[in-house]
Each structure stands twice: as C-alpha cells, then as structure tokens.
Amino acid sequence: MMEQFKNLFPVLFPFFFIGMWILLLKKLSSMSGWATLAEQFHFQEKFEGRYYRFQSVRLEKVNYSSTLKIGMNEMGLYMVPMILFRLFHQPLFIPWVEIEAEPFKAFLFKGYRLRFRSYPVITLEVSRKAFERMLEFHIALSNFQPVA
C-alpha cells in the first residue's frame, strides 16, 4: 500500500497543489473584499495611464506584498494582481470620487487608509509613497497632511 502511494505521489501532487492554490486564491479574494469591490468596479478595458509594478497594499486583512500592478490616471485607481494571483481577482478600476483617504501610523509603517464610498467597511492601506503618486492624479486627495 505504501509503495503504491510512493509511486502515485509524483502524479497526484500537482493536482493537489493546484487545487489548494485555487482554494487559497478564492479565500483571499473573499477575505480581502476584492470580490466585493469587483461587483461594482470590475474593469474589462485596457487601462490607459501610469503603471507601477510589484506594489504592496493591505486590503482588509490580506497583504498583497509585491504582487500588484497599480495604475493611475485622471479618472481613478487601477489594480490588478500579477498573473499567478489573478484567479478570482478581476482587474479593478475605482473612480477617484469613490475614494476617501486618512493618514495612519502603525508601529514602523506610515501610510494612508483608503475607504470607498460604495463600500465603506472595506479599507485599502497604502504606503505614503504610493499615496503621493496618487496625488499627482487626483488633487482632491491632497487635503490630507503627510503622516509625521
């Protein structure tokens, strides 16, 4: 019996790994609020604007560390994970009018907490540097003072 398992393990492991990866991505999409945001802000067109690759954010309880491509233009904020993480994470485009920001400080991290008018319970935490990039495109966010 154990010998059969040893022989089947190399064949079965990829299926197990892929199944676990799919479940993990589904859970992350749900826990982070990404799936909820995608109900209203799913973006199917080609985004035109400035991109920043390998960006990190915290969406609710989920850290997306160096896995996002974030784009900005005069109309809003675009976010999409790199291809390995894209399942259940549709590209998002959130208009600036939907976004409210407040500075926050947590231990060694200084940044901004973004809330969405349509989904006020979902928060997106970004670094101060990322927020400053956003200011280049949306002046209404600029009434927030940098975190000291």
Query: C-alpha distances in angstroms, 26 versus 14, 88, 126?
Result: 18, 6, 23
Q: What domains lie within the chain, and their CATH numbers?
A: 32-143 (2.30.29.30)
Distance from C-alpha of 57 to C-alpha of 104, rounded to nearest angstrom? 14
pLDDT for residue 147: 46
pLDDT tops 90 at residue 6: no
In this prediction, residues 101-116 reach a mean pLDDT of 90
Model confidence, pTM: 0.85
Please give the structure tokens belonging to residue 74: 């005069």
For the segment 30-88, what is each residue's pLDDT rounded down to a tens digit? 999 999 999 999 999 999 999 999 999 999 999 999 999 999 999 999 999 999 999 99
